[in-house]
Amino acid sequence: MGHPVEEIYSVGDLSTNLVAKFIIFLVWLATLTLKARRLHDTDRSAGWIFITLVPIIGQIWLLVLFLLPSANNSRWTTNQSEIQ
């Protein structure tokens, strides 16, 4: 009746899975910071990232916010498009 867990997963599988999860977390964190910087560049709060919790429409709305041009006088210190 089935296989024991030891035959399905080995210690090597678990360590590879842990490394993969760590890499996925790092990529997610980098993407989150890029989204926040782009929203700040358009003079919007990073809180707009939470709009993605609304299915389908939230993703589309955030994409529209990303595609808007940069604001000249942002409340944040430096406009990233002006850096040379």
Give the per-residue pLDDT at 74.
66
22-81 tens-digit pLDDT: 999 999 999 999 999 899 888 888 999 999 999 999 999 999 999 988 877 767 666 556
Give the global pTM. 0.67
What lies within 8 Å, CB to CB, of 70 at 6+ separation is 41, 42, 79, 80, 81
The span from the CA of 3 to the CA of 13, in Å, is 16
Higher-confidence residue of 80 and 10: namely 10
Per-residue model confidence (pLDDT) at position 18: 80
pLDDT at 84 over 80: no
Q: How far is CA 31 from CA 2, 3, 4, 48, 67, in A?
A: 41, 40, 39, 14, 16
